[in-house]
């Protein structure tokens, strides 16, 4: 999917910094992060653990209110969480007492014909037909995460924020989930901000790959990924892109780099 360049900024992250103050001292989690995302883009944020990528995502979601700088969504400042920003956590975090369809509807009533129609549509989109009445304990990890994605999509968010959503899944399920997510993206054209530490995943999914470095967390570089979809992981073009991302990590820059190279 091509994103035309004359589209307005959809999501604007401006000079975001964040310091965690603990009893032992303060940790500089993010420093002066700037990122502009256009509508319908698929951005992956990649970096080693501790580079603040999840923190950045929480700030965009409005789940964090003690940071510097600001985040604008369609020109409006983000001041708190809301349904315009969908969030998929690392774990599915489903309500164990609700069936799949009720989990997707969450606080909305399935008696509303519009909600009913949208829920059924999303169950189809995330390929969970036949599981509408199942309880979370009956689902596999991948299925539960697909419910979480459907739940986040039901409210038609302007941006979908995903915090290492497939991190806990095995390689096969993971590859399947990536395809489902691309499917969702191509159908709904929802803007995606996807945090991962898996280079293959970042290259497979994104239009643009944002590479982050730790201490303090900041953006190291952005790689435009214009490989056509559907992408083949075994193709040489894919491998080339992968090497470009890898070499971005290996560029000698500061002594910090050696610090997390072994992680």
Residues contributing to the site for other proteins (CB under 8 A): 61, 63, 81-83, 85-87, 89, 91, 93, 95-98, 106-107, 127, 135-137, 151-152, 155, 172-173, 175-176, 179-180
Per-position DSSP letters for 119-136, written without gaps between them: HHHHHHHTT-TT-TT--G
Give how far the C-alpha of residue 32 lies from the chain's centroid of Cα atoms, to the nearest Å: 20
CB 116 within 8 A of CB 124: no
For 17, phi then psi, to 5°, come to: -130, 150
- Measured from the CB atom, the residue of 61 and 192 that comes closer to other proteins is 61
> Pairing mode, if any, of strands 42-46 and 191-196?
parallel
DSSP 66: S
**Least distance to other proteins, CB of residue 93, Å:** 5
CB of 109 to other proteins, least distance (A): 10
∠ CA 199-202-208, rounded to 5°: 130
Which residue, 175 or 257, has its beta carbon nearer to other proteins? 175
Q: Which is nearer to other proteins, 87 or 185 (CB)?
A: 87
Rounded to the nearest whole angstrom, what is the least distance from the CB of residue 63 to other proteins in the complex?
A: 7
| 143 close to 131: Cβ distance less than 8 angstroms | yes
Residue 82 Cβ vs other proteins, minimum distance, rounded to whole Å: 5
Q: Least Å distance between CB 9 and other proteins?
A: 23
CB of 102 to other proteins, least distance (A): 9
Name which of 2 and 137 has its Cβ closer to other proteins: 137
CA dist 135 and 249 (Å) reads 42
Looking at beta carbons only, is 87 or 166 nearer to other proteins? 87
**How many H helices and E strands in the chain?**
8, 10
H/E element holding 262? none
Q: Looking at beta carbons only, is 127 or 244 nearer to other proteins? A: 127
């Amino acid at each position: 999917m091509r994103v035309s360049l004359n589209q307005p900024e959809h999501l604007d992250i401006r000079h975001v910094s964040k310091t965690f103050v603990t009893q032992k001292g303060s940790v500089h989690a993010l420093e002066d992060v700037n990122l502009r995302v256009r509508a319908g883009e698929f951005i992956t944020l990649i970096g080693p653990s501790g580079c603040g990528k999840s923190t950045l995502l929480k700030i965009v979601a409005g789940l964090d209110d003690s940071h510097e700088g600001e985040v604008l969504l369609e020109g409006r400042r983000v001041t708190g969480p809301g349904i315009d920003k969908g969030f998929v956590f690392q774990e599915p975090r489903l309500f164990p007492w609700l069936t799949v369809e009720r989990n997707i509807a969450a606080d909305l009533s399935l008696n509303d014909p519009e909600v009913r129609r949208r829920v059924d549509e999303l169950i189809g989109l995330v390929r969970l037909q036949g599981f509408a009445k199942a309880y979370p304990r009956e689902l596999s990890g991948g299925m539960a995460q697909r419910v979480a994605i459907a739940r986040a999509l039901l409210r038609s968010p302007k941006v979908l924020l995903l915090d290492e959503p497939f991190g806990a899944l095995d390689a096969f399920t993971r590859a399947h989930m990536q395809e489902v997510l691309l499917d969702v993206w191509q159908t709904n054209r929802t803007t995606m901000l996807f945090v991962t530490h898996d280079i293959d995943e970042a290259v497979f999914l994104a239009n643009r790959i944002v590479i982050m470095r730790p201490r303090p967390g900041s953006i190291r570089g952005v790689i435009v990924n214009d490989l056509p979809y559907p992408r083949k992981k075994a193709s040489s073009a894919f491998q080339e892109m992968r090497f470009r991302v890898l070499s971005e990590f290996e560029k000698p820059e500061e002594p910090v780099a050696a610090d997390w190279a072994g992680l």
